[in-house]
Amino acid sequence: MSNPGPGGYCAILTYKDHEKIISGGDTDTTNNRMELLAAISGLEAVKDTQNSEIDLVTDSKYVVDGISKGWAESWRKNDWRKSDRNPALNPDLWERLLNAVGRLNNNVNFIWIKGHNGHEYNERCDEIARNTAIEYKNKIINSQED
């Protein structure tokens, strides 16, 4: 898919022998927005952790570094400006992600894995997100034909 353009995201939540798949997309988005929405939708779907730690596994360095290196917190403290004073991208989604992590008492471990490298859940999420992106692309095509 083009970037920006139609895109999809997916999160797979697992707990013991339970699994929940969350996916969505947009007709005009970027890969970074979809990566953020995958993390957000997964964390927002967590009901009660009883202060257990959550492992958020992603192939997005953008998401992992934004949280783990404290970039998003710094951007928020600086009115969504980066250290070079330029606007931070996607402040609406970074705000949601920070709030989701805070709601879970900051008990979220952000773990980066290499994409397309055989990780079962990453491969499944990628396939679901690609299929969702195609659905959103088809929505554009269908609306242009009407």
- pLDDT tens digits, one per residue of 86-144: 999 999 999 999 999 999 988 999 999 999 899 999 999 999 999 999 999 998 888 78
Please tell me the predicted confidence (pLDDT) of residue 100.
96
The model's pTM = 0.93
Q: In the chain, which ranges are E strands?
A: 5-15, 18-29, 54-58, 108-112
C-alpha angle with apex 37: 33 to 41, nearest 5 degrees? Answer: 175
Domains of the chain and any CATH numbers: 5-145 (3.30.420.10)
Please tell me the predicted confidence (pLDDT) of residue 79.
97
CB 97 within 8 A of CB 67: yes
Taking the CA atoms of residue 129, residue 76, residue 100 and residue 109 in that order, the dihedral angle to the nearest 10 degrees is 80
pLDDT tops 80 at residue 49 = no
pLDDT tops 90 at residue 47 = no
Q: Which of 43, 59, 35, 38 is closest to 119 using CA atoms?
A: 59
Q: Which of 114, 144, 121 is closest to 22 using CA atoms?
A: 121
HSE-CB of 130 using CA atoms within 13 angstroms: 7
Q: Which residues pair with 5 in a beta bridge?
A: 29
If you average pLDDT over every residue of the chain, what do you get?
Answer: 93
d(CA 82, CA 66): 11
Which residue in the block uniquely carries the two structure tokens 């709030």?
Answer: 99
